[in-house]
Amino acid sequence: MRKSFYSIVTMVLFLVSCSQKSTDKVSSTINFPKGFTQTLVLGTETSANKQGSFEEMSYVHFQLDEVTADSTFVFTGKVTRMQYKSDIFGEKESLDTEVIQSLNSTKRLSATELEMYNDIKQYLDKEFTLTLDKYGNIIKEAQFKGDDSYLYDTSFVDQYTPVPLAFPKEKLAVGTTWDFNTENPLIASQKIKYVYTVDDITEDRIFVDVEMTIDGFAGMLKKNKAKGIYEIDRKTKRFIKGERTMNIQTGGGKAIYKIYEL
């Protein structure tokens, strides 16, 4: 009986210790090493619904050029590949810029696919710069490099950053919560609010719950929410992977937004 009692107590203590969250407090500043490079893949996909489905992916390479005396981080970025696949009302389209470039031919593209490719091809591997503060906030927005930079629309790359979430000034601990407000890069009047909460901290990772609220639009769409979790490197704040999921208001199904390092 006594042996059985001690076995139960030992098991309970083990389960409790396993379920406890970290009590660590860690710096909230980014700490990328000299020469840091990373390729992030950013994608959106929808599950099939009455209207169909689509998937798009952008591959964006970042290189840290400079860390200034006041701890700002200057990056060069470039979009190296884009993929698109859709099946809308039975009409199927697909595009992969890497395949097109390797074949050096657009003969296999439909008229719609060719139009899409012509819209984006000039931006592939076109370098742009942006500057972040030590918390990951963009303090100097993306600008294309080169004497012909005025020919390029920066809205094409405004959404890309090597730090997909900006951190608060306070140290990070389990339960730390902070907000970030912005607007839809395509529709400036549509406000977006992010609420981040640290879910757990391990020896080498920080797990952050994310809830995004996006305003309705023009009476056609109601306010909507997306929820997910991000995984961040504890020391450098390098983004490792994450996703958010949102219900689609028209036609049903879900939209999933993913980011991960290549």
Q: What does the pLDDT look like over 193-230, one tens digit per residue?
A: 999 999 999 999 999 999 999 988 776 778 899 999 99
> For residue range 170-184, what is the model confidence (pLDDT) as tens digits?
999 999 999 999 887
- 77, 127 Cβ separation under 8 angstroms: yes
pLDDT of 53 reads: 85
How far is residue 255's CA from residue 44's CA, in Å, rounded to a whole number? 7
- Cα 224–230–233 angle (5° rounding)? 160
pLDDT of 207 reads: 98
How far is residue 239's CA from residue 231's CA, in Å, rounded to a whole number? 7
pLDDT of 3 reads: 53
Strands 37-46 and 52-67, by their bridges, are antiparallel
What element of type H or E holds 83? strand 73-88
Confidence of residue 91 (pLDDT cuts 50, 70, 90): confident
Residue 1: both structure tokens together? 């009986």
Task: Provide DSSP, 238-262.
Answer: -EEEEEEEEE-SSSS-EEEEEEEE-
Chain mean position to CA 133: 18
pLDDT of 208 reads: 98
Chain mean position to CA 156: 15
How far is residue 244's CA from residue 231's CA, in Å, rounded to a whole number? 12
> For residue range 128-169, what is the model confidence (pLDDT) as tens digits?
999 999 999 999 999 999 999 988 999 999 999 999 999 999
How far is residue 51's CA from residue 74's CA, in Å, rounded to a whole number? 42
User: Looking at the whole model, is its pTM more than 0.95?
Assistant: no
